[in-house]
Amino acid sequence: MRQGDTLYIDGEWTAADRGGTFPVTDPANGTEIGRAADAGRAETERAIAAAQAAFPGWSGRTAYERAAVLDTAHRLMTEQCEELAQLMTREQGKSLKAARNEVKYAADFLSWFAEEAKRVYGATLPSNRAGHRFFVLRQPLGVVSAITPWNYPVSMITRKVAPAIAAGCTMVLKPAEQTPLCAVAVFEILAEAGLPAGVANLVTTGRPAEVGEPLVTSPAVRKLTFTGSTQVGKLLAGQAAGDMKRLSMELGGHAPFVVFDDADPVHAAKGAALVKFLNTGQACICPNRIYVHRSIMDPFAAALVDRVKRLKIGRGDGGCDIGPLVDEAALAKVQRQVADATAKGARLLVGGERVLDEGLAQGQFFAPTVLADVDSTMTIYREETFGPVAALIPFDDEAEAIELANDTEYGLASYVYTKDLARALRFAEALQFGIVGVNDINPTAAAAPFGGVGVSGLGREGGAQGIDEYLDVKLVGISI
Ligand code: ADP
């Protein structure tokens, strides 16, 4: 494993200018598992310059040549799935099974956008004038800055890198300071796949704001693609507005999960448990508000609690379901939300506290928790949890359910369980969210557009729409 030379700039692995590094720790026990280069402004500016210099060459390659690099990267990532998954479990804490699934999902973006590269079609339009023609071209927009989070440390990188380089853009990527080693592993694959120098550059840092500033404000950068918190997203969008950069923003969520009285409460509880405790609750599509029809609340809650009691808490490499939270701040937030809810009358059905069992006290483990009788006065009703706490809220009819589900400024994922087809369609159309799962807890795939409305973000990643984010539309009018 690289030790400190984790910057990939203009096709070379290098250390930070003054040799500075920062520690990378295993969130399950706090031990140091490696060190990453602590880049600052100067290294970032060099990376941007390298991307700028590489742009004419890379955008001038054929789509078939760009696709070939992505296809090779897909093959390499698939071959290295097990090593990548083990690294991810150590660095991020998720179970090995979940890490393997993430690597497969990450690799899917490489192959999907290898194909999409060849489908960047333009158009000819009928003109309103004789002797005149219109053409529409779609062209790569230039140098892209990408900033990625720690919760999906491999797939959130390929979801940006693959469409950017498929489109013919060049880029600089800054991974989260908690998970730089996964980013290094992805860039080693891109290098091995034959990506030319300067096309994709990696800048690891423990000082996100210092590196973020040139990434977001440099005039050479034409687009920012960001995945992270709504708070930081708003800050960066403001900075990027200075010279009207294009933006893609994948931000926080506050997903409603609505269970109607015609649904099977046990089946719905299984779905709720799987998606609520996905990645220990640390995913932006995790339900934050679980609305259950009052008439089936008891069997639903009993089935959910039963499942939660069977979840195994521990290290991701030990076959566990619930891993550590990423850091102390994450643990403190969950503890604060649970204390606030119970003080205001929520009933704790299971969990509710930090786990300090033998071998786990050095990590930030929180027991999977179910709270009943949650209401709108509680912090958890408004604030994203990003932890393993399921909040149950009763409702009485469909009109009330849609009003409650939409009662948030966020708009990423949403879920509804019902056997009534007409109700499912009415509800899917009325939900003000970018993603709706109908009796479905996994409405995501490389081939599907992912993204939110409201303060959950701008733009879509994946799907046919994913590559549009990296293309400008040019109109050519020709008099003949
Ligand atoms: P979280 O709270 O989930 O860690 P953040 O929004 O803080 O989410 O982090 C997501 C990404 O944004 C990470 O790569 C982080 O380093 C980066 N980041 C945080 N603050 C800034 C900033 N001021 N400028 C640039 N990047 C930032």
Q: Spell out the domain ranges in the chain.
A: 7-251+455-479, 255-445
pLDDT in tens, the chain (480 residues): 888 999 999 999 999 999 999 999 999 999 999 999 999 999 999 999 999 999 999 999 999 999 999 999 999 999 999 999 999 999 999 999 999 999 999 999 999 999 999 999 999 999 999 999 999 999 999 999 999 999 999 999 999 999 999 999 999 999 999 999 999 999 999 999 999 999 999 999 999 999 999 999 999 999 999 999 999 999 999 999 999 999 999 999 999 999 999 999 999 999 999 999 999 999 999 999 999 999 999 999 999 999 999 999 999 888 899 999 999 999 999 999 999 999 999 999 999 999 999 889 999 999 999 999 999 999 999 999 999 999 999 999 999 999 999 999 999 999 999 999 999 999 999 999 999 999 999 999 999 999 999 999 999 999 999 999 999 999 999 999
Quickly tell me which residue has 């069977």 as its tokens: 310
* C-alpha 224 – ligand 1 centre gap (Å): 13
d(CA 470, CA 382): 33
d(CA 287, CA 258): 10
* C-alpha 335 – ligand 1 centre gap (Å): 22
Beta-ladder partners of 476: 135
Going edge to edge, which strands form the sheet with 123-125?
123-125, 132-140, 471-479
Helix, strand or coil, per DSSP, at residue 112: helix
**Closest protein CA for atom 10 of ligand 1:** 228
CB burial class (10 A; 0-12, 13-18, 19+) of residue 93? buried
Tell me which residue of 423, 333, 445, 350 sits closest to 390, measured CA to CA: 350
What Rg do the C-alpha atoms of the chain give, in angstroms?
23
Does the CB atom of residue 229 touch ligand 1 within 6 A?
A: yes
Cα distances (Å, whole numbers) of residue 262 to 259, 295, 404, 415, 424? 8, 10, 19, 15, 11
Residue pair 431/268 in contact (Cβ under 8 Å)? The answer is no
Q: Which amino acid is at 220?
A: A
Q: Which amino acid is at 211?
A: V
Substitution site in 24, 38, 147, 247 for ligand 1 pocket (most atoms within 8 Å of beta carbon): 147
d(CA 18, CA 14): 11
Beta-ladder partners of 414: 436
Residue pair 220/49 in contact (Cβ under 8 Å)? The answer is yes
**Closest protein CA for atom 9 of ligand 1:** 228
The dotted CATH code for 255-445 is 3.40.309.10
Asked if the domains at 7-251+455-479 and 255-445 fall in one CATH topology, the answer is: no
Tell me which residue of 350, 348, 333 sits closest to 387, measured CA to CA: 333
284 is catalytic: yes
Helix, strand or coil, per DSSP, at residue 452: coil
d(CA 52, CA 212): 17
Tell me which residue of 176, 192, 240 sits closest to 214, measured CA to CA: 240
320 is catalytic: no
Helices marked H in 255-391: 265-276, 297-310, 328-343
- Mention the CATH class of domain 7-251+455-479: alpha beta
Quickly tell me which residue has 């039963």 as its tokens: 306
The distance of Cα 244 from the centroid of its chain, to the nearest Å, equals 24
What pTM was estimated for this model as a whole?
Answer: 0.97
